[in-house]
């Protein structure tokens, strides 16, 4: 079912309704979804590109993978990453979401947009929004994580923003080694360079990744590119 307007406009309407009528946000989301012909917001969200991309990506990943999910601002990278981790947790697999971009309240709100309540995920889902997030920090946090744990890091370009962390190339190598040695799935969300022109090619590719410092992008086993609600998957050669 095609939405009357893009989903981010519907979310904005729900927030306004939430404030204006002083009702819970989830109730406002459900009311907006009903106006679009859905019984609930969770059903609406489950049929949108971010959620469907996460479902497809989850089926494609294997323990030991280092994965890149990239797109321009507003293309749904964070929602795809959150949906990946939330779906894994809902299925009874350990997952973690590390964010240098958002606060815990921001993440909980985005989970609700996707149709997940943080309380239903708390047994298997870990959320960490520390300013200290780096490859070493993630390694310590996942020291006892079981085989097959899925970890999402939001996002690649912020990993070396602090002077006391190793250069980005080393951190990516460390994350790859961690995934391989411990049987983890590590997903890094990534920005795309502003020079990418969707009119010239339908999806960004590995050459469009914005890199403030050099990184060997061949280290990523699998790659997912987002644009205009569509998704392209690649396996490293």
85 and 125 Cβ atoms separated by less than 8 Å: yes
* The predicted structure's pLDDT at residue 130: 96
Alpha helices (H) along the chain: 7-21, 25-35, 41-46, 49-60, 77-90, 104-113, 118-121, 135-141, 168-182
DSSP assignment of 38-76 equals -SSHHHHHHTSHHHHHHHHHHHH--TT-EEEEEE-TTSS
Q: What does the pLDDT look like over 168-225, one tens digit per residue?
A: 999 999 999 999 999 999 999 999 999 999 999 999 999 999 998 899 999 999 999 9
* The predicted structure's pLDDT at residue 150: 97
Neighbouring C-beta atoms of residue 152, cutoff 10 Å: 27
pTM: 0.81
Query: Tokens 């815990």 map to which residue?
Result: 104
* The predicted structure's pLDDT at residue 50: 56
* The predicted structure's pLDDT at residue 31: 93
Listed as ranges, residues in the chain with pLDDT below 50 are none
């Amino acid at each position: 079912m095609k939405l009357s307007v893009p989903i981010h406009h519907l979310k904005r309407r729900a927030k306004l309704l939430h404030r204006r009528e002083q009702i819970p946000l989830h109730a406002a989301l459900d009311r907006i979804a009903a106006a679009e012909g859905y019984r609930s917001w969770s059903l609406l969200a489950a049929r949108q590109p971010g959620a469907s991309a996460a479902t497809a990506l989850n089926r494609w990943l294997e323990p030991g993978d280092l994965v890149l999910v990239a797109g321009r601002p507003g293309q749904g990278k964070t929602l795809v990453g959150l949906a990946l981790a939330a779906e894994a947790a809902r299925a009874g697999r350990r997952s973690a979401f590390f964010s240098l971009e958002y606060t815990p309240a921001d993440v909980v709100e985005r989970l609700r947009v996707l149709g997940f309540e943080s309380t239903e995920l708390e047994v298997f889902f870990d959320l960490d929004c520390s300013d200290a997030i780096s490859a070493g920090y993630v390694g310590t946090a996942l020291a006892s994580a079981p085989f097959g744990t899925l970890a999402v890091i939001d996002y690649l370009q912020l990993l070396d923003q602090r002077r006391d962390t190793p250069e980005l190339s080393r951190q990516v190598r460390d994350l790859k080694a961690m995934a391989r040695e411990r049987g983890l799935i590590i997903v890094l969300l990534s920005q795309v360079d502003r020079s990418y022109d969707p009119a010239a090619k339908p999806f960004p590719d590995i050459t469009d990744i914005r890199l403030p410092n050099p990184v060997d992008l061949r280290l990523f086993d699998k790659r997912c590119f987002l644009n205009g609600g569509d998704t392209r998957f690649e396996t490293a050669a």
